Amino acid sequence: MDTATTPATAVILVAAGSGQRLGYGMPKARVPLGGEPILMHALRGIVASGVASQVCVALPEGDGVLRALCDDFRTELVDGGPLLTLVDGGASRADSVRAAMAVLEPGTQAVLVHDAARALTPESVFQRVVEALAAGAKAVIPVIPVVDTVKTVQPTTGDGAAIAPELVTGTAHRETLRAVQTPQGFDLATLRRAHEGAAGFDASEAAAVTDDAMLVERLGVPVHAVRGASQSLKITTPLDLIIAEGLLEGPLGVRWVEG
Ligand code: C5P
């Protein structure tokens, strides 16, 4: 990709989550993976992809450990590398995205929003998203096919970990389903407009905003899907961490596992 002709592209790395489902008793971004915090894998992946003029990391408010790690990482960045900016995240993921958008450099035209929990996303996924934006799309998401049959239910709990039996209300047609990943790429003006509509959400409405593309869909702006990668899993549960460790230790190395 010719980065010299690519318009200024910021990457927002949202890393302000508590990581409760991982059960480590610390913010997920700090949990070690292959001997290094999850956040550092995500940061290195972004920089290696070469797509970012600025990387803005939303950190858990007041987390001095992660802030110090990012400050150290800044000293490793070479001349011509991205500007690294840190902000305190908010109560919801969408709040963290808005806090980061507020400090993007003037002149930024495109923005990618990436979950720090997707620490092993290959460079090629970043590049596919940026290429689709450069080709004129206003919103781009990486996706992978769904392997399970997916049903809708009347939930008995909100977190998907229900033990009580639930009533099945329907079966989705699998060929039309995709599992959605990050980085999600947007024309910055479009993403700002999409988030304006969500700024007044109450806590439960905000919690239901699980990605940025859904806010853009509400504007009626077309969202385009490009190929993601299975190793770009969102590290959420202890099992995900085991898989991610296995990918790092694999004989070919995680960057080759695409598919
Ligand atoms: O909890 P969830 O799976 O939605 O988190 C997705 C990503 O959003 C994680 O990388 C997490 O650190 C980030 N997040 C955030 N601010 C929050 C909640 C989540 O930056 N308040």
pLDDT in tens, 127-162: 999 999 999 999 999 999 999 999 999 988 666 565
Instruction: Identify the CA nearest to 206 among candidates 219, 197, 218, 217.
Output: 197
CA neighbor of 224 nearest in space, from 130, 102, 154, 140: 140
Question: 77 in helix, strand or coil?
Answer: coil
Count of structural domains within the chain? 1
Q: CATH no. for residue 51?
A: 3.90.550.10
The residue whose C-alpha atom lies closest to atom 5 belonging to ligand 1 is 17
Question: Any idea which residue has 């239901």 for tokens?
Answer: 208
Query: What's the pLDDT score for residue 62?
Result: 93
Distance (Å) from CA 15 to ligand 1 centroid: 6
The per-residue pLDDT for 19 is 84
- Residue 248 is given by DSSP the state H
72 versus 199: the higher-pLDDT residue is 72
- Residue among 11, 13, 14 to mutate when testing ligand 1 (max atoms within 8 A of CB): 14
> What is the extent of the structural domain holding 75?
3-256
Compute the distance between CA of residue 259 and CA of residue 253 in angstroms, rounded to an integer. Answer: 14
Read off the DSSP letter of residue 143. Answer: E
What phi and psi, each to the nearest 5 degrees, are found at residue 58? -95, 115
pTM for this entry: 0.93
- Mean pLDDT score of the chain: 92
Name the residue among 56, 51, 67 with its Cα closest to residue 9: 51
Q: What is the pLDDT of residue 159?
A: 62
Q: Does ligand 1 come within 6 angstroms of the Cβ of 14?
A: yes
**Is-contact 118 201, C-beta < 8 A?**
no
Residue type, 246: G
Is the pLDDT assigned to residue 255 strictly greater than 90?
Answer: no
- Report pLDDT for 3: 45
125 Cβ contact partners less than 8 Å away, ≥ 6 residues apart: 142, 181, 183, 227, 228, 229, 232
- 117: Cβ below 6 Å to ligand 1? yes
Report the alpha-carbon distance of residue 114 to residue 111 in Å, rounded. Answer: 10
**Is residue 68 pLDDT above 50, yes or no?**
yes
Residues 254-259 have a mean pLDDT of: 53
